[in-house]
């Protein structure tokens, strides 16, 4: 550990290159959800492999799956030292609606000291900090522990093939802690660590009325209109208190204690600023819970997309044959995505009138998870922030889903630390996604410090 | 009238050309709703002008409007003779969804002795019968009355510019009866004449939640999702009895007498065949009314199109910023489209929660109309069918809307006869629209006979 202080000089002398490399990665449209980007996803995997090798990671391999490959690599300096497994994903969300981007999603552009590009924060910008943190420690000859990398390409579509990979490679993936940067902090003034993630159950529904589009004058009011029916069913998925009406939906939801709710209420949150930032007159959610609770500890249901009938210019008097919707639910402990998938399907079908046929199919799911805040790893993270930011991170519950955290827990029997450096304004999954350049550099430094403190604490 | 019998020989010797000409017209994609077809709409107008002139119509002119032109022409043989004003439209509905067409919508194809093409029945195939009926009578030197043609290009988008044209040219358009073929018959075995048409109120709504697309995990359940809200509002536009809940919506609806309802029930209708043809297990509509009543005499509300959020392949966990729908209502006497427009707008806005902004804008409207079945013109129509089909036509109420019929009534103080030769299976406004070749030829003949009997009856 003699020369770990050198890392600052190294960072300074290479920071421009670090950013150039990230830009190169951001230019690859590795959209995992859309098959027309398959080649680009592959290119992104190749890029990750080459950069891991350049950083000094060993045994780097591209592990093919049934869809998009997983990039694995490791450097074991001393088997007696603790081991960190870094997880991240090089795939990104679709970029549309494209017309809302101020600069092209796959041409990274710097504005207000922020990198604007799809994936800049989620998760290319964040996992790449780990690659550069490793390079720095390795180059300075001060790597204090063993490090393994597992960077996948299917996180945005549910990590369908990661489970089997993890099961088959459990020994290779063995570690003392899994380190993930794929979440956000409250603010630069209030660094935080995500201690809880929601699960996900993502469904697609198709409602078919008459077998062909009809003239809305000749048939309107006499046969079921699939769009009206779909709207009716979706409306009935929540009651007037915005509670989800699916029978059994809340059965396994862990209700938090008053104490826990008090702690959550202590996290800095300004409702007026929140509404202002979204340009909404008021918030809307489950009665009896605060906004922070609704996003953090309560399960939710949202329509992510809906379409049917004539959506072109002007007016067409058609009674459509079909209507579709993508509907997802965010789950909390101890809900199970498989159970909710069945409850949703049964209920949705039960709400359909005789005049229509409905098809309900799952896209992907993931389990909710809560990470311990009393572990040695969390202690190391606190120390890292204390040294790098001058304050301890606040543990928070995030509404996002990283299904694989629960998977690691189950299969690898290893806990994760969600050390994310994103900010709310990064607008992940939205047009004009961005990531602060300071977050990128400060993240690299904090990750380096985590390695240092984790190795120290584990040695004791 | 000496040689009106010649018309049969003339029809026989020119029937192939008649069909060729119609095909030429059907090849022009004159979609009035979509501005990218503006040139084609103009081409269709030019085509109509040239064919009217070729048929012997005089003073043919293309009358420009603020959008698509109206083609007018006339032949006044003797001012002491009765005058027929023929109305029709050369514009067509959009053809999408294109993938459902068995042959390209604008490449007319004959299958099962039927012409398959967009507009084959609605209304190119039908108004063109009048052009050919005129040509025949004129060529045979047996035109028994004066004839005027007014063929417009905006019927499918609400005839926005026809009203002012009719007002400004009331004298020129003066006639004893307006003859329109833009409706359908019950069947070839049961020829019928439409004695009532619905009005139309076509609205577009836009619901805006947060000002940008959001991550459904980070914000889901905490802010209003515009798609969920839109579905909720649409669902609330009807109650569990499928009655429209807009306050005041039914106030001006003329309730039919038991006798009138009995007459309607006498019209041949087979519910099983109806359901089978649409491949629906059951029909669905306003409680307390039959299917024929729901389509014929009751006002209705249908979503014609809906869209919002991610509608691409795969799954995107987005909480969309906006959701849209096209919603139209079919009106019956004595509802007013303007009044309903206001009632709908006020009610829709009143249903929106504080968390969203809504925009409601009208596309176009038209008034419901009932045509007399005791007039001399209707008598002439009965005679024409009696001679041409061997039976009298059944008067029916149609769910479709031809807004201009009410306009003619009001401005020109002239009644219309809706002598349509379409059939239900023509699938107008749908993929694979078609029109029977027999209907086309039989229609021409029946129109010729109408001229004959109308002139005779009016002479008395």
Q: What is the pLDDT of residues A401-439, one digit of tens each?
A: 777 888 899 999 999 999 999 998 899 988 999 999 999
Prior bond to B171 cis, omega within 30? no
Is the pLDDT confidence value at A119 over 60? yes
Query: What is the Rg, in whole angstroms, of the alpha carbon atoms belonging to chain B?
Result: 23
B298 contacts in A (CB within 8 Å)?
A: 221
A308 contacts in B (CB within 8 Å)?
A: 303, 305-307
Q: Where does A21-175 show beta strands of DSSP type E?
A: 58-63, 70-75, 83-89, 109-111, 114-116, 146-152
β-pairing, A146-152 vs A70-75, is antiparallel
**ipTM of the complex in this document:** 0.80
A100 contacts in B (CB within 8 Å)?
A: 212-213
CB spacing of A312 vs B94 below 8 angstroms: yes
State residue A56 phi and psi, 5-degree precision. Answer: 105, 5
Three-state DSSP state, A161 = coil
pLDDT digits (tens, 9 = 90+) for B182-238: 999 989 999 999 988 899 999 999 999 999 999 898 899 999 999 999 999 999 999
| Separation of CA A189 from chain center | 23
Distance (Å, whole) CA B398 – CA B296: 5
Least reliable range by pLDDT among A248-262, A426-440, A445-459 = A248-262
Is the pLDDT confidence value at A262 over 90? no
pLDDT value for A4: 54
Q: Quote the tokens at residue B344.
A: 């709908």
A244 contacts in B (CB within 8 Å)?
A: none
**Window 77-116 of A, Cβ < 8 Å to B:** 93-94, 96-97, 100
A99 contacts in B (CB within 8 Å)?
A: none
The answer to whether A403 and A159 are in contact (CB under 8 A) is yes
Helix H segments across A180-219?
Answer: 216-219
pLDDT digits (tens, 9 = 90+) for B273-301: 999 999 999 999 999 999 999 998 999 99
Does residue A271 belong to the interface with chain B, where contact is any CB pair within 8 Å? no
pLDDT value for B400: 79
Name the percent of chain B lying above pLDDT 90. Answer: 84
User: Among A218, A222, A231, whose Cβ lies nearest the Cβ of B283?
Assistant: A222
Query: Residue B2: which pLDDT band, with cuts at 50, 70 and 90?
Result: very low
β-pairing, B322-331 vs B369-370, is unpaired
Is the pLDDT confidence value at B459 over 90? no
B349 contacts in A (CB within 8 Å)?
A: none
Distance (Å, whole) CA B341 – CA B328: 10
**Window 283-322 of A, Cβ < 8 Å to B:** 283-286, 291, 294-295, 298-320
State residue A320 phi and psi, 5-degree precision. Answer: -70, 160
State residue A64 phi and psi, 5-degree precision. Answer: -65, 145
Fold of domain B4-197+368-459: Aminopeptidase (3.40.630)
Query: Residue B1: which pLDDT band, with cuts at 50, 70 and 90?
Result: very low
Helix H segments across B106-189?
Answer: 124-139, 162-168
B70 sits in which H/E element = strand B70-75
Distance (Å, whole) CA B144 – CA B193: 23
Does residue A390 belong to the interface with chain B, where contact is any CB pair within 8 Å? no
**What's the full length of chain A, in residues?**
460
Ranges of each domain in chain B: 4-197+368-459, 199-253+299-366
Give the closest-approach CA distance of A140 to chain B in angstroms. Answer: 38
Does residue B278 belong to the interface with chain A, where contact is any CB pair within 8 Å? yes
Look at the alpha carbons of B334, B338, B342, B348 in this order and tell me if their dihedral is positive or negative.
positive
Name the percent of chain B lying above pLDDT 70. Answer: 99
Interface contacts (A, B; CB < 8 Å)? 383
Distance (Å, whole) CA A121 – CA B218: 14
Q: How far is CA B283 from CA A87, A209, A213, A218, B172, in A?
A: 54, 10, 15, 14, 47
Is the pLDDT confidence value at A1 over 70? no
State residue B375 phi and psi, 5-degree precision. Answer: -85, 165
Average pLDDT in the A81-92 region?
98
The conformation of residue A411, written as its DSSP 8-state character, comes to I
pLDDT digits (tens, 9 = 90+) for B414-449: 999 999 999 988 999 889 999 999 999 999 999 999
Backbone region of residue B62 per phi and psi (left: phi > 0; alpha: psi in -120 to 50; beta: other values): beta
Fold of domain A199-253+299-366: Alpha-Beta Plaits (3.30.70)
pLDDT digits (tens, 9 = 90+) for B40-74: 999 999 999 999 999 999 999 999 999 999 999 99
Could you tell me which residues come within 8 angstroms of residue B266 by beta carbon, excluding any fewer than 6 positions away? none
| Separation of CA A350 from chain center | 32
Is the pLDDT confidence value at A261 over 90? no
Distance (Å, whole) CA A4 – CA B86: 93
Distance (Å, whole) CA A235 – CA B314: 23
Angle (CA) B114 B118 B121, round 5°: 55
CB spacing of B218 vs A400 below 8 angstroms: yes
In sequence order, the β-bridge partners of residue A305 are A326, B309
Distance (Å, whole) CA B219 – CA A291: 9
User: Among A285, A355, A400, whose Cβ lies nearest the Cβ of B283?
Assistant: A355
Is the pLDDT confidence value at A365 over 90? no
Interface test with A, best of B218, B236, B238, B399 (most A CBs within 10 A): B218
The answer to whether B223 and B205 are in contact (CB under 8 A) is no
Helix H segments across A351-431?
Answer: 376-389, 403-407
Is the pLDDT confidence value at B460 over 80? no
User: Among A158, A284, A306, whose Cβ lies nearest the Cβ of B355?
Assistant: A284
pLDDT value for A52: 98
Is the pLDDT confidence value at A23 over 90? yes
In sequence order, the β-bridge partners of residue A194 are A396, A418
Distance (Å, whole) CA A40 – CA A69: 12
Distance (Å, whole) CA A110 – CA A116: 6
Sheet holding B114-116, edge to edge: B109-111, B114-116, B434-436
Least reliable range by pLDDT among A88-92, A241-245, B363-367, B411-415 = B363-367
The answer to whether B33 and B153 are in contact (CB under 8 A) is no
Q: B181: closest CA among B385, B402, B420?
A: B420
The conformation of residue B238, written as its DSSP 8-state character, comes to B
Give the closest-approach CA distance of B167 to chain A in angstroms. Answer: 25
Give the closest-approach CA distance of B123 to chain A in angstroms. Answer: 14
The answer to whether A319 and A223 are in contact (CB under 8 A) is yes
Name the percent of chain A lying above pLDDT 70. Answer: 99
pLDDT digits (tens, 9 = 90+) for A224-249: 999 999 999 999 999 999 999 999 99
Is the pLDDT confidence value at A273 over 80? yes
CB spacing of A217 vs B198 below 8 angstroms: yes
Distance (Å, whole) CA A350 – CA B107: 43
Q: How far is CA A14 from CA A50, A135, A252, B40, in A?
A: 18, 10, 50, 61
Distance (Å, whole) CA A233 – CA A372: 39
Give the closest-approach CA distance of A233 to chain B in angstroms. Answer: 8
- Which residue in this structure is represented by tokens 């490679």? A169
β-pairing, B416-418 vs B369-370, is unpaired
Distance (Å, whole) CA A214 – CA B429: 7
User: Among B94, B291, B427, whose Cβ lies nearest the Cβ of A222?
Assistant: B291
Interface test with B, best of A317, A329, A335, A432 (most B CBs within 10 A): A317
Distance (Å, whole) CA A200 – CA B317: 10
CB spacing of B235 vs A230 below 8 angstroms: no
Distance (Å, whole) CA B358 – CA B351: 10
Query: What is the Rg, in whole angstroms, of the alpha carbon atoms belonging to chain A?
Result: 23
Give the closest-approach CA distance of B363 to chain A in angstroms. Answer: 7
Three-state DSSP state, B349 = helix
Q: Average pLDDT over chain B, rounded to whole?
A: 94
Interface test with A, best of B121, B186, B245, B317 (most A CBs within 10 A): B317
Query: Residue B158: which pLDDT band, with cuts at 50, 70 and 90?
Result: confident
Is the pLDDT confidence value at B5 over 70? no
Give the closest-approach CA distance of B395 to chain A in angstroms. Answer: 16
CB spacing of B303 vs A211 below 8 angstroms: no
CB spacing of B305 vs A283 below 8 angstroms: no
């Amino acid at each position: 550990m003699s020369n770990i202080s050198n890392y600052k000089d190294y960072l300074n002398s290479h920071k421009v290159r670090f950013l150039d490399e990230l830009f190169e990665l951001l230019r690859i449209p590795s959209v995992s959800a859309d098959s027309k980007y398959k080649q680009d996803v592959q290119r992104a995997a190749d890029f990750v492999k080459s950069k891991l090798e350049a950083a000094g990671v060993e045994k780097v391999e591209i592990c093919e799956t049934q869809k998009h490959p997983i990039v694995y690599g490791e450097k074991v300096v001393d088997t007696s030292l603790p081991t960190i497994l870094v997880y991240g994903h090089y795939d990104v969300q679709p970029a549309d609606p494209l017309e809302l981007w101020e600069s092209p999603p796959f041409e990274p552009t710097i504005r207000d000291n922020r990198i604007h590009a799809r994936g800049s924060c989620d998760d290319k910008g964040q996992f790449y900090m780990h690659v550069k943190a490793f390079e720095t420690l390795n180059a300075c000859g001060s790597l204090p522990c063993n490090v393994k990398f597992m960077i996948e390409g299917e996180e945005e579509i549910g990590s369908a093939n990661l489970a089997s990979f993890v099961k088959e490679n459990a020994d290779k993936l063995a570690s003392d802690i899994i380190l993930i940067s794929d979440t956000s902090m409250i603010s630069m003034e209030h660094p935080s660590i995500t201690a809880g993630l929601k699960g996900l159950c993502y469904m697609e529904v198709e409602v078919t009325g008459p077998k062909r589009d009809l003239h809305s004058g000749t048939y309107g009011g006499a046969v079921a209109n699939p769009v009206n029916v779909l709207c009716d069913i979706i409306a009935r998925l929540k009651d007037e208190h915005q509670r989800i009406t699916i029978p059994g939906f809340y059965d396994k939801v862990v209700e938090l204690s008053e104490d826990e709710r008090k702690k959550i209420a202590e996290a800095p949150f300004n409702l007026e600023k929140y509404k202002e930032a979204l340009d909404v007159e008021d918030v809307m959610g489950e009665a009896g819970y605060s906004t922070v609770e609704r996003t953090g500890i309560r399960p939710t249901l949202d329509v992510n997309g809906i379409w049917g009938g004539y959506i072109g210019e002007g007016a067409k008097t058609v009674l459509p044959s079909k209507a579709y919707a993508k509907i997802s639910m965010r789950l909390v402990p101890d809900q199970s995505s498989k159970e909710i998938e069945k409850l949703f399907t049964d209920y949705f079908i039960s709400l359909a009138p005789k005049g229509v046929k409905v098809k309900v199919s799952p896209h992907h799911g993931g389990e909710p998870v809560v990470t311990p805040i009393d572990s040695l790893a969390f202690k190391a993270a606190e120390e890292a922030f204390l040294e790098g930011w001058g304050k301890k991170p606040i543990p928070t519950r995030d509404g996002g889903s990283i299904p694989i955290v629960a998977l690691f827990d189950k299969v690898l029997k290893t806990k994760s630390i969600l050390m994310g450096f994103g900010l709310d304004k990064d607008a992940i999954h939205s047009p004009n996604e961005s990531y602060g350049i300071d977050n990128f550099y400060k993240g690299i430094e904090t990750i380096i410090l985590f390695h240092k403190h984790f190795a120290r604490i584990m040695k004791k």
